[in-house]
């Protein structure tokens, strides 16, 4: 299970840097229609960014390592990031006592523990990692058609009584500067036009097929849909899927009038 969690976190870092790349998009007509329908429902990146900033409570429950509980804050323009961890058992300085604060302002990561500045390079790199990852998961469904993405319609599949449209999402490796190309299979709900689940590969960790799975549940907050419940699954040697991680996003508040200076620690 530890190897699964390691794969999952590596994926998050890969995603957070890949999806924000700047290159031309390549999409077939059917996939474009599905992406456009999603955008009509959730408003697309411009609608999310128009909220200026966000604060929410994030509960990350790793069934093996424990729970991280944080207050998360982001400014969309420039993607400044801040978090305060009252509980940090899984990914943020596990085994230590005291409140952890993280920030990334103008690309520079900082971290404190119980009010004291931490200068350890691994802790700083971990801060940069978590700030990118948590922002990506919050904004993912507003980034599926970012420049550099490649889409291919794969037909339909019945799951739990719903006939989902499936779209393969990959990246133009030459244009986004990646040595290996990840693959995701997005399941578009024909009734809501939202992505209820996706499968993903991770070639960098030896997972060459999209066999890892994420299931999503949404809440509509101030006119935008946010994946507030996420459940992660991985197959065992028998192909049976094991549920190994939950994350919950709650108490979402937009347009808090945060300034970049507010995120300095």
What domains sit in the chain, N to C, each tagged with a CATH number? 2-263 (2.50.20)
In this prediction, what percent of the chain has a pLDDT beyond 90? 74
- What pLDDT does residue 177 have? 65
Percentages helix, strand, coil for the chain (3-state, rounded to 5) are 25, 45, 30
- In this predicted model, what pLDDT tens digit does every residue of 107-166 receive, in sequence order? 999 999 999 999 999 999 999 989 988 998 999 999 898 888 899 999 999 999 999 999
Low-confidence ranges of the chain (pLDDT < 50): 1-5, 7, 9-24
Question: How far is it, in rounded angstroms, from Cα 5 to Cα 128?
Answer: 18
What is the reported pLDDT for 13? 44
| 191 CB-contact burial (10 Å; exposed 0-12 / middle 13-18 / buried 19+) | exposed
CA-CA distance, 84 to 110, in Å (whole number)?
A: 12
Closest CA to 81 of 139, 39, 120, 42: 139
> How do strand 108-113 and strand 53-62 relate by DSSP bridges?
unpaired
The whole model's pTM is what? Answer: 0.86
* Residue 242 tokens, joined: 């094991």
The pLDDT value given to residue 194 = 98
Given this model, what pLDDT does residue 15 score?
Answer: 47
Dihedral sign from CA coordinates of 15, 18, 19, 20: positive
Q: Which pLDDT score is estimated for 31?
A: 97
Instruction: Provide the pLDDT for residue 22.
Output: 38
């Amino acid at each position: 299970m530890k190897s699964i969690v390691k794969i999952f976190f590596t994926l998050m870092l890969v995603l957070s840097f890949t999806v924000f790349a700047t290159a031309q998009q390549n999409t077939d007509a059917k996939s474009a229609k599905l992406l456009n329908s999603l955008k009509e429902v959730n408003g697309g990146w411009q609608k999310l960014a128009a909220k200026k900033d966000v604060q929410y409570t994030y509960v990350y429950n790793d069934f093996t390592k424990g729970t991280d509980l944080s207050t998360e804050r982001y400014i969309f323009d420039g993607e400044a990031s801040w978090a305060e961890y009252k509980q940090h058992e899984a990914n943020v300085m596990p085994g230590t006592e005291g409140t952890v604060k993280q920030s990334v302002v103008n690309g520079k990561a900082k971290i404190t523990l119980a009010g004291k500045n931490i200068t350890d390079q691994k802790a700083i790199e971990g801060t940069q990692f978590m700030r990118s990852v948590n922002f990506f998961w919050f904004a993912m469904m507003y980034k599926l058609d970012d420049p550099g993405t490649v889409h291919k319609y794969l037909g339909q599949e019945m799951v739990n009584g719903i006939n989902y449209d499936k779209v393969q999402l990959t990246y133009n490796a030459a244009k986004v500067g990646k040595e290996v190309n990840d693959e995701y299979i997005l399941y578009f709900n024909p009734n809501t036009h939202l992505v209820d689940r996706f499968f993903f590969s991770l070639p960098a960790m030896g997972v060459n097929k999209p066999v890892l799975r994420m299931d999503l549940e949404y809440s509509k907050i101030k006119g935008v849909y946010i994946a507030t419940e996420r459940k992660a699954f991985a197959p065992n040697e028998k192909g049976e899927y094991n549920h190994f991680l939950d994350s919950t996003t709650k108490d979402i508040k937009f347009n808090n009038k945060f300034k970049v200076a507010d995120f300095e620690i």
